[in-house]
Chain A
Amino acid sequence: MKAQGLVVYAVTRNHELTSGIPVRLITSGAIAAVVADADLEVLAKLDVEPIEEGPLAALVREHDAVVRAVAEHEPVLPLRFGSVVREDDDVVRLLDSGRDEMARRLDEVEHHSEWGVRVEHVAPVSAAPTEGLSGTEYLLRRKRELGDAERERRVRQDAVGDLHASLGRHAKAVTTGQRRPQALLDAAYLVPHRNRAAFEAELARLRTPLERLGATVHATGPWPPYSFARIELAVSS
């Protein structure tokens, strides 16, 4: 017999799904989980490399597509990719365990989208030749180069601070992380739909000076509120 399981994509409100995606709802009171039946063996045997056009990439994109499709009509709390349970009853228990918190969080993210902004700077390599320099000359030049770099770093830091503060004014909530060593900013903004135009205009206005300072600004969005759905559901069967 095939080992069947349920992939859980998201938690949303208990309303009928209007999109044509091949998923179903398991409900508990006012909230519902968006699930799809899955053959666990297929999931378990996916030992291909996660390359751009491979099966894993397809699954990851499918997860995002399902969450987005639901988010078009209802507020949504995405589950982490790869959330799998055994049967419908497990999903009900899951919903029951955090019903109030999830209902509250759904209210918070309703009519909001997430935007990601990452600012990075890679210091350029000194291009000046070192031939013919004495040790002292070389060290003096290194000192000067490092001093210049430090001044430029402070200017960039100020510009990043401006950007973050200004974007934050258009957002309901902000999270920041810094998992990459050269990231000057790695933030997610929960932006009300009505502020979208203002947020984008602010981003377009403030990214230019940063790019002129040699930084790269990587902006993505709109996303479903992935970064604003950090809830742990602990359930034992």
Chain B
Amino acid sequence: MDQRSSSLADVLERVLDKGVVIVGDIAVNIVDVELLTLRLRLFVASAQTAKEMGMDWWTGDPFFAPRAAAVAELARSNAELRTQIAALEQALGVQAVTREGLL
């Protein structure tokens, strides 16, 4: 069992949603305390922890993203083509200068 100190996400999950709850007007009605809890909730859901919290599930789901691998391949071949075009342009540029020189 993991005996390291718990991650913030783990602690948040326990202290925010669980435990004894005070309802009614005895609870100090500071909007900001509510806001604070809300912020912490947002933190749990933020992009930083989304992966750990499993909220980016669709990105790896083959049904929703069957072409994820194809998209990566497309990006790779795009980059390759761009490099080739740059090389060709450079070669053409050299040729143009050469041609001017010939004229």
Contacts and interface: CB of A to CB of B under 8 A. Distances in A.
Interface stretch (A124-132, A155-163, A166-174): A124-132
B5 to A, nearest CB: 9
Interface residues of B, number: 47
Nearest to A233: B22
A237 interface: yes
Interface in A48-89: 49-52, 56-57, 60-61, 63-64, 77-86
B27 A83 contact: yes
A180 B10 contact: no
Interface stretch (B35-43, B82-90, B95-103): B35-43
A1 interface: no
B91 interface: no
A228 B101 CA distance: 86
A237 B54 contact: no
A234 B57 contact: no
B22 to A, nearest CB: 5
Contacts of B53: 180
Contacts of A82: 33-34, 36-37
Contacts of A219: 1-2
A56 B12 CA distance: 10
A63 B36 contact: no
Given A90-B26, A123-B62, A80 B40 contact: no
Interface in A223-237: 223, 226-227, 229-237
Contacts of A84: 27-28, 30, 33
Interface of B: 1-2, 6, 8, 10-28, 30, 32-34, 36-37, 39-40, 43, 53-55, 57, 60-63, 65-70, 73
15 contacts: A50-B39, A52-B8, A60-B8, A78-B19, A81-B37, A85-B26, A120-B54, A122-B54, A125-B66, A126-B62, A130-B67, A181-B57, A204-B1, A227-B14, A237-B25
The 6 closest A-B pairs by CB, nearest first: A44-B32, A81-B15, A50-B43, A180-B54, A226-B18, A235-B26
